[in-house]
Structure 1
Amino acid sequence: MPETAAPNSPSAQGHSQSAANTAPNAVSGAVDSPNTVSAETDIDAIRQEGLTGRQLRMARRVAQKNGLAVTSDFDAVRQLRQQGIDPFQRANVLELVTPNDGQTNAASGQMRAATAKVPAHQARVQLPQTVQRKQSLPSTQLGPGENPAERRASEISRIQRDIARRRRRNIMSLLGRLAMFVLLPTIAASFYFYTIATPMYGTKSEFIIQQADNQGSGGLGSLFQGTGLATQTDSTTVQSYMTSREAFLRLDEDYGFVEHFSDPNIDAIQRLDEGATRETAYAMFQDHVQIGLDPTEGILKMEVIAADPVKSQEFSEALIAYAEEQVDQLTQRVREDQMSGARTNYELARQNREAALAELVAIQQETEQGPVGAEQAALQQRITSLQVELDQEQLNLAGFANVSRPNEAQVRATENSIEQIENQIALLRSQMSSGGSLITNDARLRVAEENYAFEVVNVQTAQATLSTAEIEANRQVRYLSVSVAPIAPDEPTYPRAFENTFLAFLIFSGIYLMISLTASILREQVSS
């Protein structure tokens, strides 16, 4: 193997002197010193020798052992060679190893024995043979008259051009991906919206659900009277009903919703396929009937979309009619319950009053008496009159007794009159106290009259309750008031080509950006 000349050898010095003599004068503006240029040239030459990593590490260790300040492994080889030390000589390598005391003598004896066996012409240690590698980097050797600053500037310019070329290539690749995944789908969507899509007409209407005025209500309930909060629940219920399957089936049965959207003149994307299921048709119904609720005012805003403006208006009017029926049914059961209970109580009170009156008349007919207490008062009055006559006759009889010679005929007449009056008084009193007497009849009449008076009061109360129930039922009434009537437009409302195209561009851009970020993150995770 050819030996590499040391940097301090005469041949190397002669070569450097000849190169220095043949080199032109220094170019104005160079800042590197000759020693720096020489060191860089030597390091470049060492790099071209193709030393292995193990040899370079060994050279750095030998340089550290000899106390040299080196900046790299190649600089360590250079400085060792300037000091006349071969970093790859076996003796220098063995000096790096520090064996134990017991092994030192044995190792030295083995080395002497091995040296004695080797012939004299083979005792010299050979350096590792250099490997010639294919140069993949630009040469660092300076040609005659070449300035290191200009060389570095040319290398930097070449690197910048390479970076600019890669940047242009990446930009073109990015533009290609954007054109493929963003621009082309956006152009296709724009072509559909501007050329293929069937014009659709949207009929808008607004209506509100109102409650009858409650003039007599008070408290917290009156604070929300007349506001949207009072009927917000009813508005939500009507909104749910108008977008329900029941409303869809009624609209299809009455006005042919499915048949209209199955028209072959409608484009394939917006057309309802022949033989489509009910769920598919209902999904299209939900897309073309849009109802919004303003919670502050309670206003329902509806838009019905159809391929024909007349049909759009017809569908809107039909849905509003269905909503009115639903509003009427919201409080119908409550009103019927209130009125039915009040009417039942009133009819029962009337029947009881009629029964009590019939019983009173029957007792009066049976006893042949007038009002309660009238007969008894008349008998009592007669008894009182007879009692007065009796007292008068008794006084007359006592007057006859004071006469010495009374008239016998007058005395007997007075006595007979007193006896008759007493009998009459006894008869009247017996009529008042007998079992079927006037007192019993009066008691029956009094009970019947009291029952009749009680039932009359019940009828009056039931009638007042019925009137109150009617008032409350009227207050529970809800009715639908249309503030904006549905009128068919004379120009297509949909599709909104520009807005839809811009929205498609944003959607495709967002999808591309999300996929790109995800791919970049995954690539970074895999490569790390």
Structure 2
Amino acid sequence: MSDTHIKLIAPLNKTTTREGSAATLLRRIPLSFLLVVVVPVLAASFYFLLIATPRYVAEAKFVVRSAGNQQPSSLGVALQGVGIPGGQTDAFAVHAYINSRDGLRQIMRAAPVEEIYGPGRADILSRVPAIFSQRSFESLFKGTRRYIFVGYDSTTGISTLRVQAFRPQDAQIVSEALLTGGESLVNRLNSRAEEDAVAEGERTVVEARARVATAQARLADFRNRERFIDPESTATAGGELVSQLLLTIATLKAERSQIAAETPQSPQLSIIDGRIRAYENQVQQARGELAGGADSLVPKISTYEQLATEREFAQRALLAATQALEAARLDNRRQKLYLERIVNPSRPDEPLEPRRLLSILAVLAIALTVYGTGWLIAAGLRESRQS
């Protein structure tokens, strides 16, 4: 009779099964996935959740406009959209200043930048200068660019300044320093434009006044030399005198003709003839003074008219220069730029950066994209080899 063997059938150990399943699952995960996806996401999670220093954001809004500047119309906005600049681009000069080294120097005059963004307040990846960078102004400039942003809205003409710092008061101080520097820049631009335009106008006015003074002096010298106040008036008076003399001669001749007809032997005829000859001599003398010689009034009148014309042109030039100067001053007042703060930089209450969960998800998305792209390339290479 054979021996009977009794086998005990018992349930497997659940703990051992789970551990084996987890180990099997880990073995099934490709090493490339661990290196490309899991490790970067874990590192990003460790940094953003445990190490990253919170950053406070101070926001300010401002516009740069002139006294006669108007808001762009819908047509102007449409033209801006196709690359035609509008009238609100004066703010770009302030933007360039904020993003420049001069803007950093303005901040350094108001606050210790190396302390604000230095190792004492920022984590190892956020500090300025960076870990392997030298302590220099250039590295400080490149590092602070990460925490300062200025943008422009073409539809409203409003510029937005966002400054990040590791303490709320530091963010407010840096924003205030940049806005103060922008206002100083606008004032310098206004002063330079006004000085150039007004200085040119004043120089033109001075030249025109000198020209008027020269013309007036030449005219005065002519009058003193020739002893004439106005040669034209003298010539007019001389012409009237000649006309009166000729009228008198004509009257005497008519009277003589009448006497000769009535009494041909009258002794009055010789008297009248003498008077006629005297008047004719006086007419010739008066005509000689008006024209006919170097000392006559004709060349003097010509010189006088030339001098008077020069004086008139100089006076008109002075009037035009004076009007141009006043117009330049008024135009400068109308086109004078102003930086107007719409929203002053206030002290933030809570940190807005970094966005920890969003940053981790962004690292995950990038890692998955890189891994998926690499897997597709590897799969394509395998298929090409098999074929």
Alignment TM class, shorter chain as reference? 0.7 to 0.9
**Is it true that 1:261 corresponds to 2:117 in the alignment?**
yes
| 3-state SS, counterpart of residue 53 of structure 2 | coil
One-letter code of the match for 2:116? H
How many angstroms does 1:232 deviate by?
5.1
How many angstroms does 1:203 deviate by?
0.4
Write the deviation string for residues 97-148 of structure 1: whole angstroms up to 9, x where unpaired: xxxxxxxxxxxxxxxxxxxxxxxxxxxxxxxxxxxxxxxxxxxxxxxxxxxx
Residue among 96, 102, 107 paired with 1:251: 107
1:199 counterpart residue number: 54
Mapped partners of 1:474, 1:450: distance in 2:
36
Write the deviation string for residues 24-46 of structure 1: whole angstroms up to 9, x where unpaired: xxxxxxxxxxxxxxxxxxxxxxx
2:126 counterpart residue number: 270
Write the deviation string for residues 422-452 of structure 1: whole angstroms up to 9, x where unpaired: 4433333332234212333222222222222
One-letter code of the match for 2:25? I
1:426 counterpart residue number: 284
Mapped partners of 2:378, 2:269: distance in 1:
150
Write the deviation string for residues 476-526 of structure 1: whole angstroms up to 9, x where unpaired: 433322222111112223333333333344444445555555555556666
Mapped partners of 1:450, 1:365: distance in 2:
18
How many angstroms does 1:316 deviate by?
0.6
| 3-state SS, counterpart of residue 362 of structure 1 | helix
Unaligned 5+ runs, structure 1: 1-165
Residue among 286, 289, 299 paired with 2:148: 289
Mapped partners of 2:203, 2:211: distance in 1:
12
How many angstroms does 1:374 deviate by?
1.8
Mapped partners of 1:476, 1:186: distance in 2:
55
Residue among 403, 415, 438 paired with 2:263: 403
C-alpha spacing 1:418/1:203, structure 2 compared with 1 (3 Å): same
C-alpha spacing 1:514/1:168, structure 2 compared with 1 (3 Å): farther
Describe how 1:208-219 pairs up with structure 2 within 5 A.
208-213=63-68
Mapped partners of 1:170, 1:522: distance in 2:
28
How many angstroms does 1:312 deviate by?
1.1
Percent sequence identity over aligned pairs:
25
One-letter code of the match for 2:320? T
Mapped partners of 1:282, 1:329: distance in 2:
24
C-alpha spacing 1:174/1:327, structure 2 compared with 1 (3 Å): farther
Mapped partners of 1:202, 1:378: distance in 2:
90
| 3-state SS, counterpart of residue 151 of structure 2 | strand
Mapped partners of 2:173, 2:68: distance in 1:
32
Mapped partners of 2:34, 2:74: distance in 1:
64
1:488 counterpart residue number: 347
C-alpha spacing 1:258/1:396, structure 2 compared with 1 (3 Å): same
Residue among 434, 438, 450 paired with 2:309: 450
How many angstroms does 1:315 deviate by?
0.8
One-letter code of the match for 2:27? S
2:76 counterpart residue number: 224
Given the two structures, how large is their TM-score scaled by the length of structure 2? Answer: 0.74
Write the deviation string for residues 311-332 of structure 1: whole angstroms up to 9, x where unpaired: 2111111112222344456677
Residue among 321, 336, 357 paired with 2:216: 357
How many angstroms does 1:342 deviate by?
4.3
Mapped partners of 1:327, 1:208: distance in 2:
11
Mapped partners of 2:345, 2:122: distance in 1:
23
C-alpha spacing 1:239/1:214, structure 2 compared with 1 (3 Å): closer
C-alpha spacing 1:171/1:189, structure 2 compared with 1 (3 Å): same
Mapped partners of 1:291, 1:269: distance in 2:
23
2:6 counterpart residue number: none
C-alpha spacing 1:347/1:168, structure 2 compared with 1 (3 Å): same
How many angstroms does 1:285 deviate by?
0.8
C-alpha RMSD of the superposition: 4.0
**Is it true that 1:171 corresponds to 2:25 in the alignment?**
yes
Q: How many residues align?
A: 357
Contact kept, 8 Å, 2:63 with 2:342, in 1: the verdict is yes
Contact kept, 8 Å, 2:110 with 2:173, in 1: the verdict is no
Write the deviation string for residues 211-230 of structure 1: whole angstroms up to 9, x where unpaired: 44269xxxx999639x9752
**Structure of larger gyration radius:** 1
Write the deviation string for residues 244-265 of structure 1: whole angstroms up to 9, x where unpaired: 2332244235432123222524
Mapped partners of 1:270, 1:169: distance in 2:
38
Contact kept, 8 Å, 1:211 with 1:476, in 2: the verdict is yes
2:97 counterpart residue number: 241
Contact kept, 8 Å, 2:121 with 2:166, in 1: the verdict is no
C-alpha spacing 1:188/1:426, structure 2 compared with 1 (3 Å): closer
| 3-state SS, counterpart of residue 230 of structure 1 | coil
Mapped partners of 2:372, 2:261: distance in 1:
147
Contact kept, 8 Å, 2:128 with 2:144, in 1: the verdict is no
| 3-state SS, counterpart of residue 269 of structure 1 | coil
- Using CA pairs under 8 Å that are at least 6 residues apart, name the structure with larger relative contact order, 1 or 2: 2
Contact kept, 8 Å, 2:49 with 2:356, in 1: the verdict is yes
Mapped partners of 1:350, 1:303: distance in 2:
54
Contact kept, 8 Å, 2:62 with 2:343, in 1: the verdict is yes
Mapped partners of 1:412, 1:526: distance in 2:
149
Mapped partners of 1:404, 1:352: distance in 2:
69
One-letter code of the match for 2:94? V
- The more displaced of 264-273 and 481-490 is 264-273
C-alpha spacing 1:222/1:477, structure 2 compared with 1 (3 Å): farther
One-letter code of the match for 1:258? E
Mapped partners of 1:221, 1:351: distance in 2:
48
| 3-state SS, counterpart of residue 90 of structure 2 | helix
1:435 counterpart residue number: 294
How many angstroms does 1:305 deviate by?
1.0
Unaligned 5+ runs, structure 2: 1-19
C-alpha spacing 1:526/1:404, structure 2 compared with 1 (3 Å): closer
| 3-state SS, counterpart of residue 272 of structure 1 | coil
Mapped partners of 1:465, 1:234: distance in 2:
25
Mapped partners of 1:222, 1:361: distance in 2:
63
Contact kept, 8 Å, 2:65 with 2:88, in 1: the verdict is no
